[in-house]
Structure 1
Amino acid sequence: MTPGVRRWDRDPRETIHPVTLRRFTIKDVAERAQVSLKTVSRVINNEAGVQASTRDRVQVAIAELDYQPDPSARSLRSAQSYAIGLMYDNPNPYYVIAVQNGVLSVCRENGYGLQIHPCDSSSPNLARELIAIAQHARLAGVVLAPPMSERNELVKELVDHGISLVRIVSAAADPQDGSACVFVDDRDAAYEITEHLIQLGHSRIGFLWGGKSHGSSWERHKGYEDALRDYGIAYDDALVIEGDYSFDDGFRGARRLLALADRPTAVFGSNDEIAAGVLAAARSSGMNVPYDLSIAGFEDSPFSKQSWPALTTARQATEEIARHAAQRLLQELRENAPKPTSSNEGFSPELVVRGSTAPPRPKA
């Protein structure tokens, strides 16, 4: 016997059976809470008419047994579906992951399944594809992310086919177009970033677009433009470069800006990936950031914290925004629940000042 290892005292002829882990069912929950199966079902589905004390007892039993409803089985047993979809098309993986986590957390809390579908928003058959996905998977509803959420004709076609949806959109105010959405005021946050650079003393401020199919790109450009106007700084087309929400486009755009005879002293990238590309371009040119060039991004993604220096940015609560979109969708789906009367909910990203911005170096 190996030294230091104690042998259990047992008959060597004894058979040891592996422990079987049993998954608890709704019947187990009902027996533990001493209620009917229907009552447990009503609590799980957040239906009205269950006494508070009974609801508490059922929820305690669910927690003690770690009971997890099976969304597909629930859907098959009833006419109601217990799965929702998340449709997106975005080149930024950090944004996509945050949206997925936000929607998924709400689904888990409410016993719903989640089907995630990356899509090509430029596809001419997009509406038919989304309708087919929703119908084939028997989705109860859909959370629609940008840029598809901002295509009014697509949204109308989905609604006309009976698909319940909540949109995440970029807008300075509640669109009030009759559809449920969560809106993000990118314009105001972009204004704050540009204003921050201006107040540091910058007047030559470059702007790098994200993809023009995204409403957020237009809103962020509008905020940049408004701040320049309000501070009496002339808009210069040479300082504005089109591109996409990517590191590579940030790098390429920055190289073009830095090649100008009268180059900018600061650059505002429409997201943190773009800003990180600007930082790489500045470093490759031997520039000192922030003293030779100030750089700002948007969204407060891991790029903004992992860069050196860390990026000034706008903190966007993407996961929380997605949570609210999913909560709003489930609120609209609940049977016999009154339709929400409140206006759509809005979020405003907050300016976060870090080491990538500073006053411009005085001219010799």
Structure 2
Amino acid sequence: MKVTINDVAKLAGVSMKTVSRVINNEPSVRKKTHDIVMAAVKELNYQPNLAARNLAGTSSYAIGLVYDNPNAYYVIDMQNGVLSRCRKEGYELVIHPCSYADSEMENELKTMIQRSRIAGLVLTPPLSEQQALIDELDSMNMHYVRILSGRGDDSDNSPCIYVNDYAAAYEITQHLLSLGHKNIAFICGDEEHKSTSERLAGYQQALADNGIKNREELVYRGEYSFESGVSGAKELLKDNNALQITAVMGGNDEIAAGALFAARLMDISIPNELAITGFEDSPFSKQTWPKLTTAHQDNDIISQHAARLLFSKTRGARNQDKDIQRIFTPSLVVRDSSQIQG
């Protein structure tokens, strides 16, 4: 027989209403009562009917993950991170892809929120960077958390999780400089993404701090794709007698993988003649030969913290999660694409 909320209440020695309050994470429940009820839930393997909960009252038990990103690995990691938190909270996850360039994007999301009875949203770049969308959500009094590329902003009181792409790009550049590279090229991602400007700024600052002039001809304005890495590397390296490039930084791992492919087509030895680095530590970085030096980015952990922050906001000030990490800095991972192995 299917276990019911009444069975849980009987085993815990409390009312069905108390069980409901515990399952719904209401902040007024005492810890001792919460622990007794959750022990009964675990013993009986009780699974709340989320659809029934949504129909039974005014509260919503679903949150949304909204994204516009061509990188399937990034999207999957973000989904897994948010979903793991939803399971702990007893919520469903609605996954909604959309296009930030669509003029109807705000109306599309508004319709989705109303139809799905969403309690809140996790917004990923570049949607999290669209002020028109933020204004629309504010007008709806909708809870949201933004995942943003940035170094943190004390003046911004909105709920954000920051990824310090600037510091990570600075560290990758310093790694290449420590190997003796001075003419380091950079292949950018889409200019609409703030991560592009942050990663470029980190690269430029590292050069400046080491007394190396920033040269615009060493920067290729591309997109976050393998194809852009191929075309960017071909353009930068076609007359390398003049530029004398000895290292290429890709705005992400797909770009770097494309640059590596182009270099091989041009019969350039990696890393003996040219070092190449990526960013994000996606599966692309491990599927190339040689494997890519990159910056490891914990997208699943980042999205878990974004979901935790969202639930903290939806539960109100009385039940804030104090251990939420707000700023993440991707860490350098050195592999064979940047330095010759002895």
Q: What band does the TM-score fall into relative to the shorter chain?
A: over 0.9
| Amino acid aligned to 2:103 | P
Q: CA deviation at 1:112?
A: 0.3
CA distances 1:111-142 after superposition (whole Å, capped 9, x unpaired): 10110000001011211111111112110111
Mapping for residues 319-358 of structure 1, pairs under 5 Å: 319-334=300-315, 337=318, 345-358=326-339
CA distance 1:175–1:278, change in 2 (3 Å): farther
Structure 1 residue 271 and structure 2 residue 221: aligned? no
Distance 2:87 2:58 in 1: 21
Tell me what 1:162 maps to.
141
Q: CA deviation at 1:341?
A: 8.6
Tell me what 1:12 maps to.
none
Which shifted more, 217-226 or 341-350? Answer: 341-350
Tell me what 1:140 maps to.
119
CA distance 1:318–1:343, change in 2 (3 Å): closer
Mapping for residues 95-114 of structure 1, pairs under 5 Å: 95-114=74-93
Tell me what 2:44 maps to.
65
Structure 1 residue 122 and structure 2 residue 101: aligned? yes
RMSD: 1.9
Q: CA deviation at 1:344?
A: 7.6
* Aligned counterpart in structure 2 of residue 225 of structure 1, from 199, 204, 209: 204
Are the aligned partners of 1:47 and 1:335 in contact in 2 as well (CA < 8 Å)? no
| Amino acid aligned to 1:138 | R
Q: Give the number of the structure whose residues are more often helix, by fraction.
A: 2
| Amino acid aligned to 1:283 | R
Task: List runs of 5+ in structure 1 lacking aligned partners.
Answer: 1-21, 360-364
Mapping for residues 21-36 of structure 1, pairs under 5 Å: 22-36=1-15
Structure 1 residue 209 and structure 2 residue 188: aligned? yes
Distance 2:71 2:201 in 1: 21
Mapping for residues 232-271 of structure 1, pairs under 5 Å: 232-260=211-239, 261=241, 262-271=243-252
Q: CA deviation at 1:175?
A: 5.5
Tell me what 2:156 maps to.
177
Are the aligned partners of 2:305 and 2:324 in contact in 1 as well (CA < 8 Å)? no
| Amino acid aligned to 1:28 | D
Q: CA deviation at 1:77?
A: 0.9
| Amino acid aligned to 1:295 | I
| Amino acid aligned to 1:185 | N
Tell me what 2:169 maps to.
190
SS at match of 2:102: coil
Aligned length: 338
| Amino acid aligned to 1:215 | K
Are the aligned partners of 1:186 and 1:220 in contact in 2 as well (CA < 8 Å)? yes
Q: TM-score, normalised by structure 2?
A: 0.94
Structure 1 residue 199 and structure 2 residue 178: aligned? yes
Distance 2:221 2:167 in 1: 21
CA distance 1:343–1:99, change in 2 (3 Å): closer
SS at match of 1:351: strand
SS at match of 1:252: helix
Q: CA deviation at 1:153?
A: 2.7
CA distances 1:80-111 after superposition (whole Å, capped 9, x unpaired): 10001111001111111110000111111111
Distance 2:278 2:252 in 1: 5
CA distance 1:352–1:334, change in 2 (3 Å): same
Q: CA deviation at 1:264?
A: 1.3
SS at match of 1:238: helix
Structure 1 residue 306 and structure 2 residue 262: aligned? no
Look at both structures and tell me which one has the larger radius of gyration over its CA atoms.
1
Task: List runs of 5+ in structure 2 lacking aligned partners.
Answer: none
Structure 1 residue 81 and structure 2 residue 65: aligned? no
Are the aligned partners of 1:88 and 1:148 in contact in 2 as well (CA < 8 Å)? yes
Distance 2:64 2:134 in 1: 15
The sequence identity of aligned pairs, in percent, is: 50
CA distance 1:150–1:197, change in 2 (3 Å): same
Q: CA deviation at 1:215?
A: 0.8
Which shifted more, 79-88 or 299-308? Answer: 299-308
Distance 1:69 1:80 in 2: 15
Distance 1:81 1:68 in 2: 17
Q: CA deviation at 1:337?
A: 3.0
